[in-house]
């Protein structure tokens, strides 16, 4: 594990969460192996059936392979409308190009945040012929009032992702939201997403405050974690129960060094209608998206 020196500026801001009534695990979810784009093999962890339960999150794909045949074809040009995509690259290099004129290279530890808004057409193509490509793509919904907003895009190299280390040597990378006093690369007003990458040494414990109403889950990608009496193995998602008075989560590593992401957000409680890469509130809006795309009306 990557034992970084504590950044004095960061640790000065570190305010440990006091979690008095931790959430427990409602359900363990095993992802579904599938492929997308031009044949990229991935595991769809959060899929359509969980969109309502995990509102405002619409999808989580985990990808990870050292076999180039699993990823080399990438995701050629395709459209999106009505939500945001957050790609977190643990390892590998991928180039993004879109119809709004954005282009960027996503590399080890970097994050790409794209607000599709009223529509973009983009491509996501691996820039390597061998080695490991590993990471996540999370889809975050937009409220009805923002679904047709202007597209937005930004790349955050690893050095721009705020990071802190707890007294138990837990390394926390703050991709979105605020955790233990440290504000991440992106904040969002309507859905208030929290997105942390947490690296726990053997048997270490980490606590994070979570607003009671927010939906939340963890996904373990190395080692094995424990929440209350529930063990969560690698490649499993644990949905955290929403209970009255629940004020956070306390998660521990078992006998192994453990890495996981913690994702939480404020539900929008609006209708969700998805048709492939378009996520709107009504069928009429989906039909409009299809018409706009096929008539070349995306930027
Ligand atoms: Mn895409």
pLDDT at 1: 38
Longest dimension (CA), the chain: 56
Q: Residue 298 to residues 144, 281, 291: CA-CA distances in angstroms?
A: 18, 19, 10
Å from CA of 212 to ligand 1 middle: 31
Query: How is residue 5 annotated by DSSP?
Result: P
Smallest Cα–Cα separation from 240: which of 261, 223, 271? 261
Å from CA of 63 to ligand 1 middle: 14
Å from CA of 96 to ligand 1 middle: 9
**Average pLDDT per consecutive 10 residues, the chain (299 residues; last block may be shorter):** 48 78 97 92 94 98 92 93 97 94 94 96 92 96 97 95 94 96 94 98 96 97 97 98 95 97 98 97 98 88
pLDDT at 17: 79
Å from CA of 180 to ligand 1 middle: 32
Å from CA of 214 to ligand 1 middle: 26
**What domains, with CATH codes, occur in the chain?**
10-290 (2.60.120.10)
What is the C-alpha separation between 133 and 130, in angstroms, rounded? 9
Å from CA of 123 to ligand 1 middle: 7
Smallest Cα–Cα separation from 55: which of 44, 46, 63, 64? 46
Å from CA of 31 to ligand 1 middle: 19
Cis, peptide link before residue 85, omega less than 30° from 0: no
Å from CA of 127 to ligand 1 middle: 16
Where do we find the tokens 């208030």?
192
Å from CA of 287 to ligand 1 middle: 19
Helical ranges in the chain per DSSP H: 8-13, 283-294
- Residue 25's contacts (CB-CB under 8 Å, 6 or more residues apart) are 227, 228, 230, 232, 238, 239, 240, 241
Three-state secondary structure call for residue 288: helix
Å from CA of 243 to ligand 1 middle: 34
Å from CA of 151 to ligand 1 middle: 13
Å from CA of 159 to ligand 1 middle: 24
Structure pTM? 0.94
> 129 near 68, Cβ under 8 Å?
yes
Q: Residue 189 to residues 61, 82, 207: CA-CA distances in angstroms?
A: 24, 16, 23
Å from CA of 85 to ligand 1 middle: 7
Å from CA of 137 to ligand 1 middle: 9
CB-neighbour burial class of residue 47 (10 A; exposed 0-12, middle 13-18, buried 19+): middle
- Residue 109's contacts (CB-CB under 8 Å, 6 or more residues apart) are 89, 90, 157, 158, 161, 173
Smallest Cα–Cα separation from 51: which of 6, 82, 94? 82
Three-state secondary structure call for residue 159: helix
Å from CA of 122 to ligand 1 middle: 6
State the CB neighbour count (10 A cutoff) for residue 148.
16
Tokens found for residue 258:
């453990």
């Amino acid at each position: 594990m990557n034992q970084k020196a504590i950044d004095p500026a960061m640790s000065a801001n570190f305010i440990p969460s006091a979690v008095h009534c931790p959430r427990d695990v409602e359900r363990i979810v095993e992802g579904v192996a599938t492929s997308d784009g031009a044949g990229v093999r991935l595991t769809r962890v959060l899929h359509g059936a969980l969109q309502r339960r995990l509102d405002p999150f619409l999808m989580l794909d985990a990808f990870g392979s050292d076999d180039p045949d699993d990823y080399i074809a990438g995701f050629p040009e395709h459209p999106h409308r009505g939500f945001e995509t957050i790609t977190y690259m643990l390892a590998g290099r991928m180039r993004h190009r879109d119809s709004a004129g954005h282009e960027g290279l996503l590399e080890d530890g970097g994050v790409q945040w794209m607000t599709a808004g009223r529509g973009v057409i983009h491509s996501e193509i691996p820039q390597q012929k061998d080695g490991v490509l590993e990471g996540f793509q999370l889809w975050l919904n937009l409220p009805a009032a923002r679904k047709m907003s202007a597209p937005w895009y930004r790349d955050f190299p690893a050095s721009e992702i705020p990071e802190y280390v707890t007294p138990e040597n837990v390394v926390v990378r703050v991709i979105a939201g605020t955790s233990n006093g440290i504000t991440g690369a992106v904040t969002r007003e309507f859905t208030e997403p929290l997105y942390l990458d947490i690296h726990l040494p053997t048997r270490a414990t980490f606590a994070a405050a979570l607003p009671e109403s927010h939906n939340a889950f963890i996904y373990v990608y190395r080692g094995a974690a424990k929440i209350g009496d529930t063990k969560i193995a690698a490649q499993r998602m644990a949905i955290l129960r929403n209970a009255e008075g629940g004020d956070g989560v306390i998660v521990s590593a078992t006998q192994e060094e453990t890495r996981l992401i913690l994702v939480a957000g404020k539900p929008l409680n609006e209708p969700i209608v998805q048709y492939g890469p378009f996520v709107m509130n009504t069928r009429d809006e989906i039909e409009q998206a299809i018409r706009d795309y096929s008539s070349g009306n995306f930027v």
